[in-house]
Amino acid sequence: MSTTRISEIAGSLGQEVTLRGWLYNMRSSKKLHFLQIRDGSGIIQGILSLQDAGPELFAAIGALTQESAIEAVGKVVSDPRSPGGFELHLKDVRRVSPSVDYPISPKEHGDAFLMDHRHLWLRSKRQHAILKIRHTIIKGIRDYFDEHGFVLVDSPILTPNACEGTTTLFGTEYFGQTAYLSQSGQLYQEAAAMAFGKTYCFGPTFRAEKSKTRRHLTEFWMVEPEVAYMDLEGDMDLIEDFLCSLVERVLNKHERDLKESLERDIEPLKRVQKPFPRMSYDDALKMIVQIRDATTDAETKAALAIEWGMDFGSPHETELTKKFDRPIMVHGYPYEVKAFYMKRDPNNPKVARCVDVLAPEGYGEIIGGGQREDDLQILEAALAKHELPKAPFEWFLDLRRYGSVPHAGFGLGVERTVAWLCGLHHVRETIPFARTMDRLSP
RNA sequence: UCCCCAGUAGCUCAGUCGGCAGAGCAGGUGGCUGUUAACCACCGGGUCCGCGGUUCGAGUCCGUGCUGGGGAGCCA
């Protein structure tokens, strides 16, 4: 028996089709049943009258419960009264298997309850829209780099040491020694870029920080491109072009999902066009000080306290991005607060040739990147300054011993990007099964 | 690690000054021929997060613990 997918139902207008799916919801009166049927590709309304069905079938269908697996046979008709424009005049509905006391009702639920039932929550319209957009973003990322001459060179997930030596890592037993789950594939991409010129890795990343905020997950996906013979300016050009292509792709493919399922205002997304504002840390700092001086709210004033040499915190970034209608690129942070591999600016040794991209509408940092230190002596000094052992980084230093060239790259957080484009409050909805400090299941 | 908020029916929540435990939804029964989170009537449903304290009396006040949420730091 051939099955029709709801997403392709328009092609079967006027014909009798068989759908295989689940009962999403049902409304009934004495002589009419309205079944909302979903099959994973979409939702369609099926209608059945007592007159057409006869009392036996009519009663059997009336007894179906939410999320029962069903096989429905009916004629596809166009009807403006039906959500979606099409509906199915049902001839027969067979129950494939029952669903008793389905926990997620069509009414509202709390976040914790829904996260406990994440395996079922995935069936809802809103989660469908989000995860389909996530899929588009992931495909968009791969297509962009594949079409621009990059080679996919995956970095390992099990690593022997702290890549950056800063954040907290998950450790695991590894045949008598300790291995750590990767917090970044970047160091390995530097080796890959010296071999292939332009490379990227794309995979899960792990951070054991006790961060309980709407922007943090302990397991998240990151894409990390790296390019040989590219400097900071080239890096920013790449970032700009790449982000614009992602936004455009999502707008083209998901305008309805964004507007209808997610109630996302897409006007701010349409403004994401080149060029993005580029500003130095110094200029950003001046703006923050101006904002701080102009504010009358004592709490905001205190949160914005800063002086040269300090890294920006979330409150600083949030206030800064409010002044712009597109992503901004802040470059040249103080050398001391950045990771050891960042290139020290030869013209201004107090700053690093790095860049952070801050998304608009309060979504904050979605990209961190920059030019890498290609000078052996400066890199050795940086390792010492950060009190990192030299031995585990010998292979990394080799890259500076055998044909070192300027190179740059960045890391984009997929979940923060999905949250931004979908206009979500929390990143936990942007990944099928979120891992946070307090959640390891389902 | 620190700061703030919350925990009452399967779910979302209300509960006044400390005085009989409540509503909507979900579930069950009945009604309704175009419903849009359908609607109407009736019914069943409680370890008020745990422990201790104050009180004639605690969902309510105090202490403490646990769990969840938000934020800081850190970061994508």
For A256, residues 6+ apart whose C-beta sits below 8 A from its C-beta are none
* pLDDT on residue A105: 80
- ∠A93-A96-A100 over CA atoms, to 5°? 105
The predicted structure's pLDDT at residue A332: 95
Is the pLDDT assigned to residue A278 strictly greater than 60?
yes
Burial degree of A123 (CB within 10 A; 0-12, 13-18, 19+) = middle
Q: Which nucleotide is closest to A100, CA to C1'?
A: B27
Please give the helix or strand (H or E) that residue A50 lies within, else none: helix A50-53
Q: Which pTM does this prediction carry? A: 0.92
A182 near A159, Cβ under 8 Å?
yes
Helices A394-401 and A186-196: angle between axes, nearest 10 degrees: 30
Going across the sheet that includes A158-159, the strands are: A158-159, A177-181, A171-174
d(CA A308, CA A49) in angstroms, rounded, equals 73
Residue nearest to nucleotide B76 (CA to C1'): A413
Q: For residue A345, what pLDDT is reported?
A: 95
Q: Which residue has the tokens 């319209």?
A: A125
CA–C1' span, A212 to B62, in Å?
30
Strand order in the sheet with A278-280: A151-152, A198-206, A219-228, A407-413, A364-371, A354-359, A328-331, A278-280
- If you count them, how many residues does chain A have? 442
Asked if the model's pLDDT at residue A377 lies above 60, the reply is yes
| A 108-167 residues, CB < 7 A, strand B | 108-113, 115, 166-167
- CA A93 centroid distance within chain: 39
Amino acid whose CA is nearest the C1' of B31:
A30
Residue A284 confidence (pLDDT):
93
Sequence-separated (6 or more) residues with CB below 8 Å from residue A283: none
Q: Which nucleotide is nearest to A32 (CA to C1')?
A: B33
Alpha-carbon distances of A131 from A48, A121, A128, A330, A429, rounded to whole Å? 32, 12, 5, 30, 8
CA of A222 to C1' of B67 (A): 31
User: Who has greater pLDDT, A275 or A161?
Assistant: A275
Q: Is A405:A228 a contact under the CB 8 Å cutoff?
A: yes
> Residue A32 CB closer than 7 angstroms to strand B?
yes
The pLDDT value recorded for residue A21 is 93
Q: Which of residues 66-95 of A touch strand B (CB under 7 A)?
A: 66, 79, 81-83, 87
Query: Amino acid letter at A136?
Result: T
Residue type at A362?
G
Nearest nucleotide over every DNA/RNA strand to the A101 CA, judged by C1' = B27
Task: Measuring from the CA of residue A411 to each C1' atom, give the nucleotide at the shortest distance.
Answer: B76
Whether CB of A398 is under 7 Å from strand B: the answer is no
Q: Determine the 3-state secondary structure of A319 from DSSP.
A: helix
Question: Which window residues (319-338, chain A) lie with Cβ within 7 Å of strand B?
Answer: 337
Structure tokens at A316: 């600083």
Cα(A244)–Cα(A228) distance, integer angstroms: 23
Q: What is the spatial distance between Cα A177 and Cα A403, in angstroms, rounded to a whole number?
A: 33
- Strand B: which bases are under 7 Å from protein Cβ? 1-2, 10-13, 24-28, 31-39, 67-76
Q: Residue A164: is its pLDDT beyond 80?
A: no
For A15-45, write each residue's pLDDT tens digit.
999 999 999 988 888 888 889 999 999 889 9
Name residues whose C-beta falls within 8 Å of residue A295's C-beta, 6 or more positions apart in sequence: A301, A304
A28 touches strand B (CB under 7 A): yes
A365, closest nucleotide (Cα–C1'): B76
As a whole-number percent, the residues of chain A with pLDDT over 70 amount to 98
DSSP A423: T
* Per-residue pLDDT at A66 exceeds 90: no
Nucleotide nearest to A369 (CA to C1'): B76
CA of A126 to C1' of B23 (A): 28
Give one word for A176, left, alpha or beta, with left for phi > 0 and alpha for psi -120 to 50: left
Residue A163 has pLDDT above 80, yes or no: no
